Amino acid sequence: MIAEDSVLLRIGLVKVVEMAGFEVAAEAGDGPELLAAVEEHRPDLAVVDVRMPPGFTDEGVRAALEIRQKWPNTAVLMLSQYVEERYAADLLATNTSGVGYLLKQRVADVEEFIEALRRVAAGGTALDPQVVAQLLVRRASDPLERLTARERDVLALMAEGRSNAGIAAQLVVSESAVAKHINNILAKLDLPKADADHRRVLAVLRFLGVGG
C-alpha cells in the first residue's frame, strides 16, 4: 500500500517495493484515499508520504496515526523530505513495533531501504539517523555525557532500530564487540537488559523521551 502525491515518485516507489518482494495492493494520492484503501485491503505495510493534499502539511502523519490505531496489524513506514522528531514522537507514542520514519532520499539507497521496509513489515522499527540525531539533541545532557563517542554511535544505531548484525556491519566491527558496547551502554544508562531487538529499541527510545 503506497500513498504519495508525486506521481513520479510513486512509480519509483512501486518498483522498489516490488523489488523487495512485496505486492502493491493499492496506491493513493492523499489521506482519505489512503485510509479507504487500508480499510479495504488490510495490507501488511503502508508506505506514506507526510506532506499530501489537500493541506500539504502533516496529513500523512495523521493518517498514519489513525492506521496504527484502527488496524494495528498494518505496519506504517512514513517518508518525508525532512524528518521531525516531534512527528516521530507522535508515531512512537502509541506503539514502537512496525513503525518506520525515514527521509525520502533514503529510497535512493535501494538495498538499505529494502532492508528497512522488511524490518518494519516484520514488526521492527526503522528510524532515520536524522531523527535519532534530533532526539539526541533534545537529550544533550545527563547520562549521555558518560558515554564514549563509540558508544554514542552504537546507541544511535540502536535507536534507529537496527539489529546487532546491522550495527556491526555499519561500524565495521565484530558482532561480539557490538554486544559488549551495548551492554556498557545499557549499564551506563540504567536500562534493563533485553535479548529481543525490539524490546531493546523500546528501552532506548524511552530513554530518549519517546515511545510508549
Partner 1 sequence: MTIPPRLRRALVRMRRDLAFVAAGVPLHLVPALLSWWALSLLTDTVTGASPNAPVVLTAPLTLLVIAGYGFTEAQRWRFRAICGVELPRLRFAEGKRQLGYNWLVGPLLGVLEVLLLGLVLVALVAALVLVWVWLVPAQWRGGHPGYTTTGTYLTVLGLLALAAVPPLAAGLVRLEILVGRAVLGVSRSDELARRVEDLTESRAGAVDAADAERRRIERDLHDGAQQRLVSLALNLGLAKATLTDLPPEAQEVIDAAHREAKDAIEELNNLVRGLHPAVLDELGLDAALSGLAARAPLPVRLRVDLPAELPQRTAPAIEAVAYFVVSEALTNVAKHAREATRADVTVTRLAEILRVVIADDGMGGADPSRGSGLKGLAQRVRSVDGTFRMSSPVGGPTMMSVELPCPM
Task: Kindly tell me which of 38 and 64 has the beta carbon lying closer to partner 1.
Answer: 64
Is 58 a binding residue for partner 1 by CB under 8 A? The answer is: yes
Is 181 a binding residue for partner 1 by CB under 8 A? The answer is: no
Is 136 a binding residue for partner 1 by CB under 8 A? The answer is: yes
Task: Kindly tell me which of 8 and 196 has the beta carbon lying closer to partner 1.
Answer: 8
Stretch that binds partner 1, among 25-33, 64-72, 76-84, 94-102 (CB under 8 A): 76-84
**Among residue numbers 11 through 30, which ones bind partner 1 (CB under 8 A)?**
12-13, 15-16, 19
Q: Show Cβ contacts of residue 118 under 8 Å, excluding neighbours closer than 6 positions.
A: 20
C-alpha 4/C-alpha 11 separation (Å) is 10
Q: Is the peptide bond before 54 cis (omega within 30 degrees of 0)?
A: yes
CB of 40 to partner 1, least distance (A): 27
* Among 21, 23, 54, 141, contact with partner 1 (rule: CB under 8 A): 141
* Among 69, 73, 81, 148, contact with partner 1 (rule: CB under 8 A): 81
C-alpha 80/C-alpha 34 separation (Å) is 16
Q: Show Cβ contacts of residue 33 under 8 Å, excluding neighbours closer than 6 positions.
A: 3
| Cβ neighbours around 212 below 10 Å, total | 10
What's CA 204's distance to the chain center, in Å?
A: 14
Q: If you search the block for the grid coordinates 495492493, which residue do you land on?
A: 25
Q: Which residues pair with 75 in a beta bridge?
A: 45
Which parts of this chain interact with partner 1 (CB under 8 A)?
6, 8-9, 12-13, 15-16, 19, 51, 56-58, 81-86, 104-105, 107-111, 130, 133-134, 136-138, 140-141
